[in-house]
Every structure is written in C-alpha cells, then in structure tokens.
Amino acid sequence: MHIYFSGIGGAGIGPLAQIARQAGYDVSGSDQQASQYIDYLSKHGIKNVHIGQSAEAIAEVHAKQPIDWFVYSSSIPQDHPELVFCRDRGVKTSKRDELLNKIIEDKDLKLIAVAGTHGKTTTTAMVIWLFKQLGLPVSYSVGAKLSFGDMGHFEPDSQYFVYEADEFDRNFLAFEPAVSLITGVSWDHHEIFPTRDDYRAAFCDFIGQSQQTFLWQEDADYLELEPADNRTVLSVEDNREVISIKGFYNRLDARLAVEAVRWITDAQPAELIKHINAFPSLSRRMEELVPGLFTDYAHTPEKIRGAMSAAQEVANEAGRRLVVVYEPLTNRRQHHMLDDYKDVFEGAAKLYWLPSYLAREDSSQRVIPPSELISHLDDPSIAEPMKRDAELKAVIQKHLDDGDMVVGMAGGGGNSLDDWLRSEFT
C-alpha cells in the first residue's frame, strides 16, 4: 500500500509516516516548507518528500506510483489542492487517527495514550524510556526528537503502542486506549473548544473510552469525575518515592509515568525510580544549544510554569541570573490568555517578549502587540518588547558573556524562535 502524508514535517504526521514505513507500507509526502525534521525523516529512510503542495506535484507522485491512502494534517483546509486531487480520483483520505487505529488493530497492539493540555510529550517519552530500560519491546509515536530513539517507531514484537494523544481537532476521541494517562487539564485550543465546558467534556469522553486511566486529583476535580474502579487518582502531596529530575512539573510527569508503567508491567518501584531519574532531556524541553543558552517548547501558562520551574533550579544550582526570551504561539490564543500570564515568568531577572508566531489565524482578530501582552504581567518592568533581529542576537550574546542563563520559550514549527536560535548560535 502506498500512503501519502500531507504535512509530513509536522510533529503528529511525521512520526506516523516513520511508523507506516517500518510497518511495511510505501511512504511519500509533502510539506509547505523545508525543516530540520524533514531532513531527519530523510536520514531515516523517507526520501520521497516534496516541498511545496500543489495538485501538479502530487499528480506526478500519483503517476509514478498510485496513491492508495492520503493522510493529512488537521491544519490543512478542505479545499487544499492535494486533498481535492485525491478526493476527485477516489483515493481514500483521512486524518492520522484512522491510519493509526488500523495499524494498532492489524498488529494486535494495546494502546497506551498520553493526553493533557501540558506535559504530554515529556510524559509520553518517559513511558517509552521506561519500557526500553525494562527491556520490553514497544511501538510509539511522540511529538519531540528523542536521544534514545526515533519520534515514531514500530517494533514487530511489541504488545503496546505508546501514543501522544493530542486533543486538537478532537483527535484523541478517535481512540479507545487500554491505558490512558492525563498529564494536566486546562482550557486550550479555543478555536476547537469555544468554552471551558466543551474542553472538559472532551477529556471526560476520552477517559470514558479508556479501560484504565491515571490522573491527578486536581484534574479529577476539575473534570468533576466520580470515583471509579478503572481510575487511579494520584495526589501531589503523596510523595512516596524520591524522583530527582529537574523541575517540579517534570517530577509530576515522571511520577505519572512510573505509576502507569508499574501497573502495566508489575515492575518494582525502586527499579522504575532508578530508571526515571536517568531520563535524558528531549529536543526543545530545556535543551541546551550552547553553554548557557536553552530552548523550550513552553507557550501556554502551564507549560511556561513548568519550564520556569526547571530553569530556576538549573540557574540556582549554577549561581546564574535567569533571562527569558518568549515568543507566544498564535495571536488567536493570546486573546484568551491575556489575564493568564500575570506571574508565570516570576523568577526571571529579565524577559524579552517577541511578536506572536502566527499560524491558522482568524483574520478578523486584531494582532495583540508585545507591549500590550506585557502590560498584563504582575511586574511589567522586567519585560521588554523585541524582535528576532541582530539587536536581539547581540543582547542574548551579552547576557551569555555576563554569565547569565538564557532560555528561549516558544511554540511553533519551522521559522520559529527555536529555529532562529539554532541558526544564530549553533
């Protein structure tokens, strides 16, 4: 079967393309722009990728080898030229969930799904790490580069498939996990979930579709869940084991992963704690690019708090001042987050605030400038609007020369602050 992946450079589609190739399918794809991840896919055997998306380009691919299944990203519109081309020719089209469900069913795998507004990438990676350290074969898909494996992997001998289940576009509701982990719930993706109740209802539905769920008491209360035998509810105050990795929220993610893997495998707690304390960092999760300069995917209040917790521990240990460069992800999200920033950057000696990274925007919405977003902080005096340019590069370099710790926090994919920091400093 020949499967064509539209948006193959994305964190959701790309790993699935790797999995499909390893599971024995012929794989090709396209994206709007080149990226480091597309280079990564090429090095891992997926070379038939076209940059630029048009009916003419996909027609050439289809002429050489007929496409049997067109898998597309949630971000592409219904009038997208590739999607229209395939529909007009009777090619099967779907989003990624239908293909993944087919692979799980055909290979007789049990799904371990990790969902949540924040922390799901790290927690997914931690579950994968624990399986690997226990010597258990595992298939998986995760939205970040791993130092200990590919972003997507199919293992023929595995019994479990570990999946980062994204709530965007209600993707996670397509699955019925054997085990689900809920890493934290707070309202997000407002264009999909217009109200907090819509968002909460989706997570309740997801938990209802899961055979066994692990979550925090705070989230169970937020979702107004009744006690149930097939739910393990953890308390933040119940710190029975010593998890020593950096960052308060990272330690919470680690505890969730340990409890779930312990239940699945019957592994001894001491062994799991030993392994989780050796967990390596992920790409864009407090990743050190050069000495003193870090990058993190933090772009919502909860993610920022998590990144700040880890960054402060690292900075305090090294006796450095903490400096943050922040690029918000999407203007539409900022309209809902104005009053959520307040104290999230508490502990930063200096904050440089960049214009929002724009993607899938509502053209009718006013673009909120950095100065207005800064005004909603409890202490606006620490922050300064800036742009990604030579001046910012010089400012960052001065901080590094002075011995400060600088953390770039940004969502976004290609051409984000993360890409800019890599190109300018590495």
Q: Of 139-153, 162-176, 393-407, which has the strongest mean pLDDT? A: 393-407
Same domain? 213 vs 298: no
Supply the pLDDT for residue 326.
97
Same domain? 262 vs 315: no
DSSP, residue by residue, 198-215 = HHHHHHHHHHHT-SSEEE
User: Region 29-38: what's the mean pLDDT?
Assistant: 88
The parent domain of residue 111 ranges over 107-276
Contact 331, 365 (CB under 8 A): yes
Supply the pLDDT for residue 240.
58
Supply the pLDDT for residue 40.
83
State the amino acid at position 15 in one-letter form: P
Supply the pLDDT for residue 12.
80
Contact 309, 285 (CB under 8 A): no
d(CA 48, CA 109): 28
Same domain? 141 vs 265: yes
User: Region 370-375: what's the mean pLDDT?
Assistant: 96
Does residue 39 sit within a domain? yes
Same domain? 64 vs 120: no
Does residue 326 sit within a domain? yes
Could you read off the pLDDT of 194-235 as tens digits, one per residue?
999 999 999 999 999 999 999 999 999 999 999 899 999 999
State the amino acid at position 212 in one-letter form: Q
Supply the pLDDT for residue 366.
95
Confidence of residue 247 (pLDDT cuts 50, 70, 90): confident
User: What DSSP element (H or E) covers 39?
Assistant: helix 36-43
Tokens matching residue 312: 């402060």
Tokens matching residue 233: 């509810």
- Domain boundary among the residues 207, 241, 276 is at 276
Does residue 282 sit within a domain? no
Does residue 101 sit within a domain? no
Same domain? 120 vs 263: yes
Res. 241: pLDDT tops 80 = no
Res. 276: pLDDT tops 90 = yes
Contact 261, 268 (CB under 8 A): no
- Domain of 135: which CATH number? 3.40.1190.10
Cβ of 274: how many Cβ atoms within 10 Å?
Answer: 11
User: Region 290-303: what's the mean pLDDT?
Assistant: 92
φ and ψ of 353, to 5 deg: -110, 120
Does residue 297 sit within a domain? yes
DSSP designation for 112: E
Contact 144, 156 (CB under 8 A): no
- Domain of 72: which CATH number? 3.40.50.720
Supply the pLDDT for residue 363.
86
Q: Lowest mean pLDDT: which of 7-16, 39-48, 235-244, 406-415? A: 235-244
Tokens matching residue 236: 């933040």
Overall domain count for the chain: 3
Tell me the residue length of the chain. Answer: 426
Is 201 or 362 the better-scoring residue by pLDDT?
A: 201
Does residue 99 sit within a domain? no
> Strand locations in 32-184, DSSP E?
49-51, 69-72, 92-94, 110-115, 139-141, 152-153, 160-164, 179-182
Same domain? 351 vs 250: no
Strands 160-164 and 110-115 turn out to be: parallel
DSSP designation for 424: H
- Domain boundary among the residues 253, 276, 299 is at 276
Supply the pLDDT for residue 239.
57
Does residue 409 sit within a domain? yes
Same domain? 132 vs 85: no
Listed in sequence order, the DSSP H helices in 319-387 are 331-337, 370-374
Same domain? 314 vs 408: yes
Phi-psi region of 327 (alpha: psi -120 to 50; beta: other; left: phi over 0): beta
Instruction: List the strands of the sheet with 231-234, edge to edge.
Output: 152-153, 139-141, 160-164, 110-115, 179-182, 213-216, 231-234
- Domain boundary among the residues 254, 276, 298 is at 276
Same domain? 292 vs 415: yes
Dihedral sign from CA coordinates of 327, 332, 335, 341: negative
Same domain? 28 vs 76: yes
What percent of the chain is predicted at pLDDT more than 70?
99
- Domain of 355: which CATH number? 3.90.190.20
d(CA 148, CA 164): 17
User: Region 341-345: what's the mean pLDDT?
Assistant: 94
pTM of the full structure: 0.82
d(CA 119, CA 98): 24
Same domain? 309 vs 231: no
Same domain? 138 vs 242: yes
Let me know the angle formed at the C-alpha of 319 by 292 and 383, rounded to the nearest 5 degrees: 65
Does residue 414 sit within a domain? yes
Contact 285, 304 (CB under 8 A): no
Confidence of residue 85 (pLDDT cuts 50, 70, 90): very high
Res. 413: pLDDT tops 80 = no
In our burial notation (b when 16+ CB lie closer than 10 A, e otherwise), range 165-190 reads bbbebbbbbbbebbbbbbbbbbbbbb
Res. 283: pLDDT tops 90 = no
User: Region 266-276: what's the mean pLDDT?
Assistant: 95
Contact 182, 255 (CB under 8 A): no
